[in-house]
Chain A
Amino acid sequence: MLAYTLRRIAQAVPILLLVSLISFGIMQLVPGDPAAVLAGPNATPDELIKLRQTLGLDKSLLSQIMIFYGNLFQGDLGYSIILGEPVLKVVLERSPISISLALYSLALTVILGLSIGVIAAMKHNRWIDQAAMTFALIGVSVPNFWLGLVMIVLFSVHLGWLPTGGYVPFFEDPVGWFLAATMPALSLAMMQIGLLARLTRSTMLEVLGQDYIRTARAKGASEPRVIIKHAMSNVLIPVVTVLGMILSVLLSGSVIVETIFAVPGIGALLGNAILGRDYPMIQGGLIFVAAVLLILNIVVDVLYAWLDPRVRVQ
């Protein structure tokens, strides 16, 4: 198991370097630069040239690459051009926000997605099954920005239960965090809940048709014991694989939700960095996101191997 884990970690290093190189190359190819964004459309050519010099954008591509990797290997992701702060500091400040939002969304996804899927499978072809699958279909179909706005109108403007947006750090005010994060987390999770419910239902139906389930029932095991002890352990194998992917999506795909709810997370940070052509921030942010996703994938692979010994053998 340890060798397997170490092998997966070793494979991640070149991937991370490749991500950094690709992100660096793409940003150099895209037209527009931070000096033009900062100076606006009315700056004179001389003003733009001097601002580029000030920001270090006049250096050759090779020297920019050398500086970037020289700093990277010392753990320095550089300075954000727009924010004027170290990239690593900003990323570390923002990442807990996105991670906490993603974990809240994941919790909602797991609890609701698994429950809906299991109940739908247990009540196969009955009205509960139909209702659950309709809900799941709505979940995967409704755009999260629209859902977010509808929730704001309903829960903030009309009912006054939840704030319209913003972020409250969990350790400063857990209740405030819960209230502020609920709508963003739910709109982020809705699609994943639908996907997981459908996957869980189909997997559960397949498992419930297996001989060992019939044998368990024939031996007189109670229905909850059949579901929890015998069926769920096999349902979880594909679900765990999907959960890793879902968490990746929740972490990296929150730009729109963060914008609607004014949550200053990594998604909003990267979105603004791209619009401002803040090269160091884009590169640093992408490397960070790639690193988190790689770690997640390793954790999922290890978990998968733990759940299914055949994977370790392969």
Chain B
Amino acid sequence: MTHRNSKNRLRGLLVAGAMAVAAGPAHAELCGQVGGDLVLGMEAKLGTLDQHVNAANATRNVAMNIFETLMTRDENMAPILDLAESLDVSEDKLSYTFKLRPGVKFHNGKPLTSADVAASFDRYNRIGVDRSALGSVDRWETPDDATFVIFLKEPQASFLESISASTVPIVIVPSEQASAEATRLEPIGTGPFQLEEFVADSHVKLKRYEDYKPNETLDAMSGFAGRKQACVDTVTFRTLAEPGARLAALETGEVHIVEDVPTLSKERLVGNEDIVQTQLKHAALWLNYPNLSEPPTDNLKVRQAIQAAMNLDEIMDAMSDGSYSLNPSFQFPGQTYYTEAGSQYYNQNDPEKAKALLKEAGYNGEAVKLLTTRDIPRLYTAAVVMSEQLKAVGINAELVVLDWPTALGMSVNETEGWNFFFTGWITVTAQGGAQSLRNLADPSNVHKPKDNKSDAEFMKQFQILSTSPDLEERKAAFAKAQERVFEQVMAIPFGVTPKNQATRANVKGYVPFFNTRVSNVWLAE
């Protein structure tokens, strides 16, 4: 049984997606030209294409050109159908019925059926990194080859946001792959490109999938979904970890697109007529979060003093070479849940207030250990600047510099030996309100509250944010939750950096996004 309002709402979802298409060419001319070999210079090294068990950008950048999902995110990161052509939600909000797009085939030639969708969900539920997205699911069924039904244990307003999240997407793979162990998945998808060659740490080469069935509900690509076409014959993602070498490869024409152009190199490229620079304005939120179980940051007054002492302009300027925007929110500007609630606590830069709060807290020179890493230079720079700001108000700040896995492991597993952990939220912020604050809610690896219980008021608002069927109520709850985070100093957002990319001038149709998309991109002669 379906509900008319639900249908309308979901039709609205699709329409919203249709309006938010990437600023590429219209339907009839997705590819200005067909053919050629596109080469991209990637910043990060790529170890696996098993998208179910990897949260890394490097994997997603390649894998999401091979795989597709039932639902994904559009250009504005709102949920949108992809391999499904329709979705009906029952009146009681307990069952979600997806009808699959007809004619879709996997790269091995096998037609996509609901059995493949069920197998993919089975595998994700077994080993998927973000399997909590399926936490409210009771079961799924496949009444026929084209229908996939998910039954929930209880209504969950954010369910579609959860299963469409692009952090660790639930990509659809052939049912034979359901038993593949973690990282041993064969990269066979339904996307416009199929794998030709993968040499870890070196390159991944994709080629056009000739039998690709595009999503014709939209005129162009929108986010991860929409109408896609492989314009080029092959795409090679080359790992060029060193920024200088990456830019040199772009300048010589060995690669056509590079990601992460260093701010200081942008000026040099301006005069080069062969190169076009592009930017995704809000790409990453940089922040740190305190350890609430370790003195002296177990003391709210000390945390508030630290918050008051910080000059976030200085921190962001140093870590991004001046390419940043301040952002008193856990969402990017323009996102549905964006709010500046609690911004009075943001970027205070008030040393006198900090000193007064320290006195009130009875702070006695205990070490405040800033846990960071040199593997991600921005995090190290942020910690160095912050430590100087803290010292200036009389706080005994110490740097604890470890390699990334050790620092990450320490922040996850230990409640001693550190007071602030530095990190960046890249895709999490983009996923929406509930996903961005989930890190501070119970249960969490990130947040280290006393007795492992997060703040009660925050949890109350987070619960509303996760479950309320009313968007306005959810937005209000997000604002209150965010304000509580600022008040209790559960995390300190520094600001947002853009994603600077550059292409050769003959690359057409490339639109920057949270992921690298190579569909609808062509090479002009």
Chain A residues in the interface with B (C-beta under 8 A): 30-33, 36-48, 50-51, 54-55, 79-84, 90, 145, 148-149, 152-153, 156-157, 160, 163-167, 259-264, 268-269, 272, 274-278
Q: A70 CA to B423 CA in the complex, in Å?
A: 40
Residues on the A chain within 8 Å of B184, using CB: 79, 84
Residue on A nearest B405 in the bound complex, by CB:
A32
Is A44 touching B132 in the complex (CB atoms < 8 A)?
Answer: yes
Decide: A36 near B409, CB < 8 A? Known: A43-B445, A152-B244. yes
Q: Pick from B196-204, B468-476, B483-491 the stretch touching chain A.
A: B196-204
Is A264 touching B131 in the complex (CB atoms < 8 A)?
Answer: no
Residues on the B chain within 8 Å of A54, using CB: 53, 126-127, 181-182
Residues on the B chain within 8 Å of A37, using CB: 404-405, 408
Q: A51 CA to B50 CA in the complex, in Å?
A: 13
Residues on the B chain within 8 Å of A43, using CB: 55, 129-130, 445
Number of interface residues of B (CB under 8 A): 59
Decide: A82 near B129, CB < 8 A? Known: A37-B408, A165-B245. no
Q: State which of B55, B245, B254 has its C-beta within 8 Å of the C-beta of A149.
A: B245
Q: State which of B131, B183, B202, B410 has its C-beta within 8 Å of the C-beta of A32.
A: B410
Q: State which of B185, B201, B414, B444 has its C-beta within 8 Å of the C-beta of A272.
A: B201
Is B56 touching A40 in the complex (CB atoms < 8 A)?
Answer: yes
Is B248 touching A31 in the complex (CB atoms < 8 A)?
Answer: no
Question: For the complex, is B413 an interface residue (Cβ under 8 Å from A)?
Answer: yes
Is B55 touching A42 in the complex (CB atoms < 8 A)?
Answer: yes
Residue on A nearest B431 in the bound complex, by CB:
A42
Residues on the B chain within 8 Å of A259, using CB: 241-242
Residue on A nearest B42 in the bound complex, by CB:
A262
Cβ of A67 to closest chain B Cβ, rounded Å: 15
Residue on B nearest A259 in the bound complex, by CB:
B241
14 new A-B contacts, CB < 8 A, other than A31-B405, A157-B251, A164-B245, are: A41-B408, A42-B439, A42-B446, A46-B443, A54-B182, A55-B182, A79-B184, A153-B248, A156-B248, A156-B254, A157-B248, A160-B252, A264-B202, A274-B403
Is B48 touching A149 in the complex (CB atoms < 8 A)?
Answer: no
Decide: A81 near B446, CB < 8 A? Known: A157-B248, A166-B202, A276-B405. no
Decide: A268 near B201, CB < 8 A? Known: A38-B55, A84-B184, A165-B240. yes
Is B254 touching A164 in the complex (CB atoms < 8 A)?
Answer: yes
Residues on the A chain within 8 Å of B199, using CB: 264
Among A32, A157, A263: residue with most chain B CB under 10 A = A32
20 CB < 8 A contacts A-B: A37-B404, A38-B129, A38-B183, A39-B53, A40-B129, A41-B423, A41-B446, A42-B55, A50-B127, A50-B131, A51-B182, A54-B53, A82-B183, A157-B252, A163-B252, A164-B245, A165-B240, A259-B242, A264-B200, A272-B45
Residue on B nearest A93 in the bound complex, by CB:
B199
Q: A90 CA to B245 CA in the complex, in Å?
A: 25
Residue on B nearest A165 in the bound complex, by CB:
B245
Is B252 touching A164 in the complex (CB atoms < 8 A)?
Answer: yes
